[in-house]
Amino acid sequence: MKLFYSNNSPYARKIRILIDEKKVAVTLEKVVLANKNCTIHEYNPLAKVPTLVVNDISIFDSPVIAEYVDHKSGPLYLIPSDFDKKILLKRWEAIADGLCDAAVAIMLEKRRPASQQNSDVFEKQMKKIRLSLKWLNREMEGKQYYLEDTFSYADIAVGSALGYVQLRYPEIDFKNEYLNLYDLYELLMQRPSFQTTVPEPYL
């Protein structure tokens, strides 16, 4: 198996952490999506990371890859087989991915020439970020981990999103505004899988 990823992609970070936690033998290939010669186009027509290649078959996107990796690597499973529990986990992953989508949208808008930037985009996407953080923070009330207080892929998904938001928007004061999420990320960052995949500020 080979995983194509980029350093700061929170979607790819989820899978890298999952691979590390499950001790799966996967070749990691870092790509730069902005590079015109990026080979990702050969494996994913959407040219997105993460993309997993297994026996010449490409698998995407991150929720699908996570299911594949967790199932194929065997126990201990980080995605529950119980349907109701899986839906709770997927619900959390959906919010985490939406949080990342909003953060990326602002970042891309900021890269446009100042005269072409749309303030409505900033306001709309930042509202999504704030509401998502508030919602997730409330969901973590009285918990150490999200799903039955046991480490799972739900924590990986949200942890990756939190790391990305902290990277792009350091002005957000998690400790004072979203203490439950702050505590969760501090706990997750004690794991080697999170430490070795932390986003790089200069990218």
88 and 28, same structural domain?
no
Q: What's the whole-number average pLDDT of the chain?
A: 94
pLDDT band at 202 (very low <50, low <70, confident <90, very high): low
Residue 203: predicted pLDDT: 47
Cβ-Cβ contacts under 8 Å for 76 (sequence gap 6 or more):
none
Confidence of residue 102 (pLDDT cuts 50, 70, 90): very high
Residue 105's domain spans which residues?
Answer: 83-195
Shared domain for 168 and 96, answered yes or no, is yes
Q: Does 202 fall in a domain? A: no
119-133 pLDDT, tens digit per residue, is: 999 999 999 999 999
User: Residues 15, 59: contact at Cβ < 8 Å?
Assistant: no
CATH number at 188 reads 1.20.1050.10
Query: Do the domain assignments include residue 104?
Result: yes
User: Is 148 a residue whose pLDDT tops 80?
Assistant: yes
The verdict on 30 and 108 lying in the same domain is: no
Q: How far is CA 60 from CA 5, 66, 126, 157, in A?
A: 12, 9, 27, 16
For residue 69, is pLDDT > 60? Answer: yes
Distance in angstroms (rounded) separating the CA atoms of residues 66 and 13 = 11
Judgement on whether residues 23 and 110 belong to the same structural domain of the protein:
no
101 and 61 part of one domain: no
The per-residue pLDDT for range 47-66, each reduced to its tens digit, is 999 999 999 999 999 999 99
Taking the whole predicted model, whether its pTM rises above 0.85 is answered as yes
Confidence of residue 35 (pLDDT cuts 50, 70, 90): confident
Same domain for 55 and 129, yes or no, is no
Co-location of 90 and 186 in the same domain: yes
In a shared domain, residues 87 and 38: no
Closest listed residue to residue 160, CA positions, set 7, 12, 6? 12
Do 126 and 52 have their domain in common? no
**Contacts for 99 with CB less than 8 Å, ≥ 6 apart:** 128, 129, 132, 133, 136, 161, 165
**What pLDDT is recorded for position 200?**
79
pLDDT-above-90 percentage for the chain: 88
Q: Which of 23, 50, 72 is the last residue of a domain?
A: 72
Quick one: 103 and 173 in the same domain?
yes
- Is 136 among the domain residues? yes
Among residues 72, 92, 111, which one ends one of the domains? Answer: 72
> Would you say 158 and 136 are in contact if contact means Cβ atoms under 8 Å apart?
yes
87 in the same domain as 68: no
Rounded Cα gap, residues 66 and 12, in angstroms: 10
CB 18 within 8 A of CB 79: no
- When mean pLDDT is compared across 35-44, 56-65, 120-129, 139-148, the lowest value belongs to 35-44
Q: What is the pLDDT of residue 190?
A: 98
Same domain? For 108 and 182 the reply is yes
How many folded domains does the chain comprise? 2
- 157-176: average pLDDT: 95
The reply to whether 8 falls in a domain is yes
The residues that bridge with 58 in the sheet, in sequence order, are: 53
Question: Is pLDDT at 34 greater than 90 in this prediction?
Answer: no
pLDDT of residue 133: 98
Residue 137 confidence (pLDDT) above 70? yes
